[in-house]
């Protein structure tokens, strides 16, 4: 495909806006080339929704990527859609190297991709692998390659409680505590044909459905806004552990990225 002037200038612009060096187009990792090739044919629609400030759009009718996970509960609508970029953590008992690594939580930064989800979910499905193929954004920088801005932080408040804190300097959208209620093996590719292994060769982590829980001790923090009821992790890229602990240290991290879809009451 002939890449247009706009694509090359947006590449240059993105390179300048992020800690990522300028490269000849062919030198970018293939998920990044796939993203910009797809962008070239959709530029008019996409260009307006990836600025450095938040765009305006209606995303409550955005459609979750297909999978065999249970559908969102009746009455819930998309409340926020983010791409998370971070690490999955694991532990190994080094005395039993043939055993599988055990999950030990995850830490990710969330970037607001709500408008992209609404306007072009296919483009969004390219983002996790593209974001994972380059180093994570420095603090204060947008997500490569969409320039999506920070919307929150994902971490585990205990081994099984996935926490999403959407309180940033810009706005307070609350905090939610979630338990896994369903999981499915990630498909071999995203959106039909988009490679979703990490640059380290790691397979994509499973797709999940999470449900919000009352936090430990039944005491909600003051900024638990309660709007979010269910959270999905889909279109995952990388992050899975090797199948055994052979040659692995007692604790390690695997880089990953994924779409997170938050469902809530309007």
Identify residues 86-115 at the interface with ligand NAG (CB under 6 A): 87, 89, 104-105, 107, 112, 114-115
CB of 148 to ligand NAG, least distance (A): 9
Q: How far is 20 from 6, CA to CA, in rounded Å?
A: 19
Q: Does 251 bind ligand NAG (CB under 6 A)?
A: yes
**Which residues sit opposite 213 in a β-bridge?**
177
Comparing CB distances to ligand NAG, the nearer of 28 and 164 is: 164
CB of 4 to ligand NAG, least distance (A): 26
CB of 31 to ligand NAG, least distance (A): 19
Q: Cβ distance 6 to 42 under 8 Å?
A: no
Number of C-beta neighbours around residue 73 at 10 A: 10
Comparing CB distances to ligand NAG, the nearer of 11 and 125 is: 125
- Token pair 């338990």 is found at 179
Helix (H, G, I), strand (E, B) or coil at 6: helix
Among 124, 102, 104, smallest CA distance to 113 is for 124
Comparing CB distances to ligand NAG, the nearer of 83 and 115 is: 115
- Non-local CB neighbours of 45 within 8 Å, separated by 6+ positions: 119, 120
Based on its alpha-carbon atoms, the radius of gyration of the chain, rounded to whole angstroms, reads: 18
CB of 116 to ligand NAG, least distance (A): 10
Which pair of structure tokens corresponds to residue 150?
């920070």
Comparing CB distances to ligand NAG, the nearer of 11 and 67 is: 67
Comparing CB distances to ligand NAG, the nearer of 39 and 234 is: 234
Identify residues 30-89 at the interface with ligand NAG (CB under 6 A): 54-57, 66, 80, 87, 89
Comparing CB distances to ligand NAG, the nearer of 39 and 191 is: 191
* Choices 3-11, 13-21, 182-190, 215-223 (CB under 6 A): range interacting with ligand NAG: 182-190
Comparing CB distances to ligand NAG, the nearer of 17 and 57 is: 57
Q: Does 135 bind ligand NAG (CB under 6 A)?
A: no
Q: Does 220 bind ligand NAG (CB under 6 A)?
A: no
Q: How far is 195 from 259, CA to CA, in rounded Å?
A: 15
Pairing state between β 77-91 and 172-184: unpaired
Among 45, 65, 82, 265, smallest CA distance to 168 is for 82
- How many residues sit in the footprint of ligand NAG (CB under 6 A)? 24
Among 202, 192, 190, 182, smallest CA distance to 253 is for 202
- Non-local CB neighbours of 157 within 8 Å, separated by 6+ positions: 163, 177, 215, 216
* Among 14, 69, 166, 245, interactor with ligand NAG by CB under 6 A: 166
The continuous run of DSSP H or E covering 190 comes out as strand 189-190
CB of 82 to ligand NAG, least distance (A): 7
Binding site for ligand NAG (CB under 6 A): 54-57, 66, 80, 87, 89, 104-105, 107, 112, 114-115, 151, 166, 171, 173, 183-185, 206, 251, 253
């Amino acid at each position: 495909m002939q890449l247009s002037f706009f694509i090359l200038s947006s590449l240059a612009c993105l390179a300048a806006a992020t800690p990522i060096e300028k490269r000849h187009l062919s030198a970018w990792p293939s998920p990044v080339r796939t993203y910009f090739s797809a962008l070239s044919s959709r530029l008019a629609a996409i260009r307006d929704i990836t600025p450095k400030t938040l765009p305006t759009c209606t995303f409550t009718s955005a459609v979750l990527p297909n999978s065999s996970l249970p559908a969102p509960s009746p009455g819930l609508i998309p409340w926020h859609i983010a791409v998370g970029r971070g690490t999955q953590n694991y532990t190994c008992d080094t005395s039993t190297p043939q055993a599988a690594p055990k999950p030990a939580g995850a830490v990710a930064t969330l970037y607001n991709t709500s408008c992209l989800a609404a306007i072009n979910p296919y483009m969004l499905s390219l983002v996790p692998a593209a974001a994972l193929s380059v180093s994570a954004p420095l603090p204060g920088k947008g997500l490569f390659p969409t320039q999506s801005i920070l919307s929150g932080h994902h971490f585990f408040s205990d081994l099984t409680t996935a926490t999403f804190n959407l309180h940033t300097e810009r706005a307070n959208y609350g905090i939610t505590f979630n338990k896994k209620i369903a999981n499915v093996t990630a498909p071999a590719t995203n959106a039909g044909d988009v490679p979703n292994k990490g640059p380290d060769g790691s397979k994509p982590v499973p797709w999940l459905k999470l449900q919000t829980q009352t936090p430990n001790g039944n005491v909600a923090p003051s900024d638990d806004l309660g709007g979010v009821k269910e959270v999905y992790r889909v279109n995952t890229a990388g992050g899975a552990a090797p199948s055994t602990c052979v040659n692995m240290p007692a604790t390690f991290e695997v880089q990953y990225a994924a779409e997170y879809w938050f469902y809530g009451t309007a």
